[in-house]
Structure 1
Amino acid sequence: MIRPYGRRPRPPAPGDILAEARDLRVRLGARDVLTDVALTVRAGEVLALAGPNGAGKSTLLSALAGDVPPVRGTVSVHGRRAADWSAPELALRRAVLPQAPALSFPFTVEEVVRMGRAPYAADPATTPADDDRAVAEAMAATEVTAFAARPFSTLSGGERARTALARVLAQRAPLLLLDEPTAALDLRHQELVLRLCRSRALAGDAVVVVVHDLGLAAAYAHRVALLRAGRVVATGTPAEVFSERLLSDVYDQPVEVFPHPRTDGLLIAPRRDL
């Protein structure tokens, strides 16, 4: 029997906890990928997950989405255990951007973005005009409208990434979980995506984003969770977490942190002794 989609969640208030991990342990195969992880995601913030390759960032994102079951601990989404939501109910509450979106059929860009509206198919309060507006706004925000009729398979890596992000935005879930959304993008579109993350947080959503560029994380994230070997070693504002000593230790690479000459942000770069 197919479970009903249920009601849309109420709009979150600033500071509401939209996702939470407690004493989280995740095992993939014979290896513990996450150990003793505790993390809270609140409405109105961009939370960046940072750390070296293999630190567990993508697995933590998948666990927060309810897609990877823990062997110990709990993950809650909107105050309820993620495993207790049906898939349709969960789709109304969180939207997930995977690291490498792929499609097997020749869908157009607009058709891919419209897939984000699937959770509302059984919602009598949603009209076709609502779907059209959400799709159009998401494509405009990610700058993919100009090639809406092109097959997804013909796009460049960056165009695919922006189309996949548009699908997530069209879903209009209050919790956005984005895995390396800037990885395939040029400089301009990296900034565009992180500005979109900030605007969604400003509108009241919670955004969790896996990002390797520490400069982008420092510029756009309200909070950072820094991971190493499956553990969260520090959480806080970028200014609190991004110290030269901690980053150099976590990345096993000397790192320099400078105050930005024009803003209150940070500039982060590997130390090069040329």
Structure 2
Amino acid sequence: MRGLKLSRFAPSSRPVPPPPAAPGEVLAEAEGVGVHLGGRPVLDGVDVRVRAGELLALVGPNGAGKSTLLGALAADVPVAGGVVRVHGRPAPRWSAAELALRRAVLPQAASLSFPFAVEEVVRMGRAPWAGGDREGEDEAAVAEAMARTGVTGFAGRPFSALSGGERARVALARVLAQRAPLLLLDEPTAALDLRHQELVLRLCRERARAGDAVVVVLHDLALAAAYADRVAVLRAGRIAADGPPAEVFAEELLSEVYEQPVEVFPHPRTGALLVVPRRTP
């Protein structure tokens, strides 16, 4: 709904937006990070860096700690050991308002208790900028995010009336509208069909090429190989490998991590890596 203003952060205490990041600048990092959830260790001594201009994919089997690591990098999950830094500062030293200008987070599930219209949901991504110098960008930011994710056509529909895939794209539009330099996306393609999976990963790659740091949790190794600049493979709460897909996606490593024999080979036309289960006839 046009004209909706969200003033979550008081103008009198406006945080200062971050300056543009230099290519390769570390915008988030985990150093020796451990996380305990429900009394059990989920992450154990994890080290990872997220750089401006890079798309980093977090992959690994169920329960490996991918979403927990993403939550720790977002400063949404408290760490039991080690340190998480966002824009060079330990995460607990940022206020909620300061963090909201520096990182945007897409959780796995998008749900709302009230019947907000799609455009209103996307506009929520502009809340961190309310009352600031860039508040005037709200209309353009919302319109661009909706157009890029293909949800402009149902701007007035209730969010609760959308399909799972449509909700996922609206939630991504909210993240894009926030225009934070660090994007943390948890399984953004999980509910999407083939066309929209490609759309979302292209958007992620474009944001990285434009200078943002983008982290995505993915289950589809082929998507990770096609779009990620770097891949971190998690196994049992630790990093099993970290590097470019061409170096990390080795048959022996992936077969061991997933406890399922896989084959890795180049696409016959493009040369892009393909990762498929090894099946017997």
TM-score band (shorter)? over 0.9
**1:156 corresponding residue in structure 2:** 163
RMSD over aligned Cα, in angstroms?
1.2
1:52 counterpart SS class: coil
Q: State the shift of 1:260 in Å.
A: 1.3
User: Runs (4+) of structure 1 moved beyond 2 Å?
Assistant: 1-5
Q: Does the CA contact (< 8 Å) of 2:145 and 2:174 recur in 1?
A: yes
Q: State the shift of 1:264 in Å.
A: 3.4
Out of 80, 84, 91, which is 1:75 matched to? 84
The 5 Å alignment of 1:129-208 reads 130-208=137-215
- Say whether 1:216 aligns with 2:247: no
Q: Distance in 2 between matches of 1:117 and 1:44?
A: 23
**1:43 corresponding residue in structure 2:** 52
2:165 counterpart SS class: helix
2:13 counterpart SS class: coil
Q: Which ranges in structure 1 are unaligned for 5 or more consecutive residues?
A: none
Q: Distance in 2 between matches of 1:210 and 1:178?
A: 6
**1:126 corresponding residue in structure 2:** 134
Aligned AA (1:41): V
Q: State the shift of 1:127 in Å.
A: 3.6
Size of the alignment, in residue pairs?
A: 272
Q: State the shift of 1:19 in Å.
A: 0.2
Q: Distance in 1 between matches of 2:23 and 2:271?
A: 24
Aligned AA (2:62): N
Q: Does the CA contact (< 8 Å) of 1:5 and 1:119 recur in 2?
A: no
Q: Does the CA contact (< 8 Å) of 2:141 and 2:177 recur in 1?
A: yes
- Residue identity (%): 72
Q: Distance in 1 between matches of 2:186 and 2:164?
A: 15
Q: Distance in 1 between matches of 2:146 and 2:235?
A: 35
Q: Distance in 2 between matches of 1:221 and 1:266?
A: 11
Aligned AA (1:56): G
Q: Does the CA contact (< 8 Å) of 1:49 and 1:210 recur in 2?
A: yes
Out of 89, 100, 103, which is 2:109 matched to? 100
Q: State the shift of 1:4 in Å.
A: 2.5
1:165 counterpart SS class: helix
Q: State the shift of 1:224 in Å.
A: 0.1
- Say whether 1:23 aligns with 2:26: no
2:108 counterpart SS class: coil
**1:87 corresponding residue in structure 2:** 96
Q: Distance in 2 between matches of 1:10 and 1:45?
A: 18
User: TM-score w.r.t. structure 1 length?
Assistant: 0.98
**1:250 corresponding residue in structure 2:** 257
Query: Please, which moves more after superposition, 174-183 or 253-262?
Result: 253-262
CA distance 1:256–1:176, change in 2 (3 Å): same
Aligned AA (2:264): V
1:224 counterpart SS class: strand
Q: Does the CA contact (< 8 Å) of 1:14 and 1:204 recur in 2?
A: yes
Q: Does the CA contact (< 8 Å) of 1:260 and 1:266 recur in 2?
A: yes
Q: Distance in 1 between matches of 2:265 and 2:33?
A: 34
Out of 121, 125, 140, which is 1:116 matched to? 125
1:160 counterpart SS class: helix
Q: Does the CA contact (< 8 Å) of 2:60 and 2:234 recur in 1?
A: yes
Q: Does the CA contact (< 8 Å) of 2:28 and 2:88 recur in 1?
A: yes
Q: Distance in 1 between matches of 2:14 and 2:69?
A: 26
Q: State the shift of 1:5 in Å.
A: 3.3
**1:56 corresponding residue in structure 2:** 65
Q: Which ranges in structure 2 are unaligned for 5 or more consecutive residues?
A: 1-8
